[in-house]
Amino acid sequence: MDKETLRLNLETELKRGVQTLAVLSLLKDKQYGYSLLEALALKNMNIEAGTLYPMLRRLETQGLLESSWDLVEARPRKYYSLSQLGEEMLDELMAVYKKMSKDLALWL
């Protein structure tokens, strides 16, 4: 494995945990898959489409997200948003994340 691939792998590994946090926090307002992908990219949180779409389904199965199909527009779209459990989990995860980055900032 060359140095660049290794770095990319480590970076992906490092970002993986935070991705869920970012997705949950952007889903306080309902979004469909592609709009969420773009919103994440705008915030420099580039997640591959092939990773994000399955992740949304997984989070929904875990009860953190709710979804509904909007059939009114020309193209049907599936919108995702935080469930009650998702909101609670997001608050708790945010607290963990903030404490962790504060602690790490002290010595990293």
DSSP 20: H
Residues in contact with another protein, total (CB under 8 A)? 16
Short-list 45, 12, 50, CA closest to 33: 50
List residues bridging with 76 in a β-sheet: none
**Binding residues among 43-62 for another protein as defined by CB under 8 A:** 48-51, 53-55, 57
- Applying CB under 8 A, the span of 5-13, 16-24, 27-35, 89-97 interacting with another protein comes to 27-35
For residue 63, the one-letter residue type is: G
Residue 68 or 101 having the CB closest to another protein: 68
73 makes contact with another protein (CB under 8 A) = no
Short-list 94, 101, 80, 103, CA closest to 21: 94
| Footprint on this chain of another protein (rule: CB under 8 A) | 32-35, 48-51, 53-55, 57, 75-78
